[in-house]
Amino acid sequence: MMSFEDIAKATLKIECGNNSGSGFHFQKKNIVLTNFHVVKPNTSQSVKIFSKTELGNHTELELLAYSPENEFDYAILKTKEKLDEERVVLEPKCIIPTRGMSVCFSGFPHGINDLLVQTAYVSGPFDKVGFYIDGSVNGGNSGGPIIDMSDMKVIGVVTQRRYLTPIDLNQVNRNLEVIYKHFQQMGGRAGIIISGVDFGQFAQLISKSFNIFRNILEANANTGIGIGYRIEFVNQKLKEIENE
């Protein structure tokens, strides 16, 4: 049976501009899956997509097909070059995961270069397309595989983490982004000095502070609850591509 080391050899770090997530080899060594939101800049700004292994080997990826974030949030990619190291391919298991299933998931949380494989349990269904896991899913885990521990087959793709607070932290993050850009623009203008205070520099300082606060909020807002989308949706799309 496949080991945790094998799962690590199947997992990749995915980079697209400033976006960073995880991905994995699926059914073939040259096919890679991740989340669409990780590689979205490729469709809007033609930003190149790259994968990196735990050993640091890179290869460029081509986007074959995707589903928007508000649907299944998957992206099917193809490697442009062969990776010069041993890699492992994950096989699908198209089921509806049930509560109590023992699973593991892998990826590069927070965009770090260290690959982590973690264990969790399926906690319950999410909408009609996914399921909750009680693992510490963080930014950077997006696009990584969720694997059934009983046979080491992939049952889902890590999609997001669940915020359970009175305040919608996603909305807070969006508001901070607007404020950050506003003060950036103010700081870029000619300095306005009143009573010895340079308000241009002051605006720059505030914009940097908001950016730091936003990054801290993003890095630490983890409730130990993650969401995965079932693998059957992307598996069906891949079959359609192969039959074209």
Q: What percentage of the chain reaches a pLDDT higher than 90? A: 62
Task: Kindly list the distances between the CA atom of residue 108 and the CA atoms of 20, 23, 210, 223, in Å, as whole numbers in the listed order.
Answer: 9, 9, 25, 18
Q: What residue spans define the domains of the chain?
A: 4-163+221-243, 169-219
Angstrom distance (rounded) from CA 116 to CA 136: 11
* Whole-prediction pTM: 0.79
Helix then strand count (H, E) for the chain reads: 6, 14
CATH number of 4-163+221-243: 2.40.10.120
Give the model confidence (pLDDT) of 94-135 as tens digits: 999 999 999 999 999 988 999 999 999 999 999 889 999 998
What was the pLDDT predicted at 198? 64
pLDDT tens-digit series, residues 137-162: 888 999 999 999 999 999 999 997 65
Q: Is the pLDDT of residue 215 over 90?
A: no
Q: Would residue 27 be called left, alpha or beta, if left means φ above 0 and alpha means ψ between -120 and 50 degrees?
A: left
pLDDT by residue (tens digit) across 4-55?
999 999 999 999 999 999 999 999 999 999 999 999 999 988 899 999 999 9
For residue 211 the two structure tokens come to: 């950016």
Model confidence band, residue 214 (pLDDT cutoffs 50, 70, 90): low
